[in-house]
Structure 1
Amino acid sequence: MHLRGLHHFAALTALLLVTSHANAQSLPPPTKTVFRCEEGGKIVYSDAPCLGARKIDVEPTRGVSKLSGKERIGSTVQHELRREQIAEAVRPLSGMNPQQFDTFGRRQSLSSAAQRECLRLDEQVMAAERDEHGAKGPVLADIQARLFGLRKRFRELGC
């Protein structure tokens, strides 16, 4: 097997490893997006979108350090770190950073129509979020309603 064939084999192996693990999980993958919502005058944080939500990107902790300075990380975090290492290893072939590679792997279980819709929604949500930042008054309410619908569909599809 020549070098180019070896690279393709390594990329395929890594992709199969990532997608097989994603398919084997019984729970949906955790989200790193949290929405800040106001409900009945109270602030609520949720992974589900709401009307007028403010998107907050969070990065969960990756283990704890004891007073002894010894770091302890769980198997889930170890697996996540391995996936990131695989993504970096195949980056020259895939052109994707670890986050993009994770999204790609997670979406492999979706139908091709759902994958296409997720890509379309990626662009539409980003555009609506940009529009929301500069809007005021009734225009803001319209944009927030549209953004809520887009985020809701994004979540329904499992994008």
Structure 2
Amino acid sequence: MRTYCVVILIAAGLSGAANAQRLPATSRTVFKCEAAGKVVYSDEPCPAAKRLEIEPTRGLTTTGKEGKGADVRHEIHREQLAEAVRPITGMNATQYEVARKRVYLAPEVRRECARLDASMASSEARERAANGRELAEVQSDLLRQRNRFKELKC
């Protein structure tokens, strides 16, 4: 019953966004890569990348007046909705947003995304502790996982 309620609440959160202009989803994950001695930031994973979570700006303030686009207003609305239904879903705003984005994925894809969430977190912890040859192996495995994560649109 709880899962059913969560799906209904997520769908309700989507209905307001359905009328908004459709733009490609922005990624909050940026990878810091070194290529030929230069640092490059990209939304594409690369070997030995450092994953950075960024927080995009949420409106422009000019002369004391704050201007927010429709996308920011929708994001704030979804965050407020997530907080309102938190006692029912048990999810914070970040977890709610992940569930909202994955609701239309096939069940087997959602399961693989969840497995990759845990696997990448574990691999990132191993990467921080590894060195030498083990580090290269962990980074290679992490790159494969990140590419699969992006391919599945998790």
Please say whether Structure 1 and Structure 2 have the same fold, judged by a TM-score greater than 0.5: yes
Residue 129 (structure 1) shift = 0.2
Equivalent residue number for residue 5 of structure 1: none
In 1, distance between residues paired with 2:45 and 2:90?
A: 30
Equivalent residue number for residue 145 of structure 2: 150
- Structure 1 regions of 5+ residues with no counterpart? 1-7
Contact 1:63-1:77 at 8 Å conserved across structures: yes
Equivalent residue letter for 1:40: A
Distance 1:12 1:132, change over 3 A: closer
Matched, 1:89 2:78: no
In 2, distance between residues paired with 1:25 and 1:47?
A: 22
Residue 141 of structure 1 aligns to a residue whose secondary structure is helix
Equivalent residue letter for 2:109: A
Aligned length: 150
Residue 51 of structure 1 aligns to a residue whose secondary structure is coil
Correspondent of 1:48 among 28, 38, 44: 44
Equivalent residue letter for 1:73: K
Contact 1:52-1:144 at 8 Å conserved across structures: yes
Equivalent residue number for residue 30 of structure 1: 26
Q: Map Cα deviations across residues 20-64 of structure 1 (whole Å, 9 max, x no partner).
A: 437x87544211110001122211101111110001111011011
Contact 1:19-1:108 at 8 Å conserved across structures: no
Q: Map Cα deviations across residues 50-104 of structure 1 (whole Å, 9 max, x no partner).
A: 11000111101101111x2111111100000000000000000000000100100
Equivalent residue letter for 1:133: R
Correspondent of 1:100 among 95, 102, 120: 95
Residue 40 of structure 2 aligns to a residue whose secondary structure is strand
Residue 93 of structure 1 aligns to a residue whose secondary structure is helix
Contact 2:79-2:93 at 8 Å conserved across structures: yes
Residue 147 (structure 1) shift = 0.3
Q: TM-score, normalised by structure 2?
A: 0.89
RMSD of aligned alpha carbons: 2.1
Distance 1:81 1:119, change over 3 A: same
Which of the pair has more CA radius of gyration?
1
Residue 109 of structure 1 aligns to a residue whose secondary structure is coil
Residue 16 (structure 1) shift = 1.4
Contact 2:28-2:53 at 8 Å conserved across structures: yes
Equivalent residue letter for 1:38: E
Residue 12 (structure 1) shift = 5.8
Residue 49 of structure 1 aligns to a residue whose secondary structure is coil
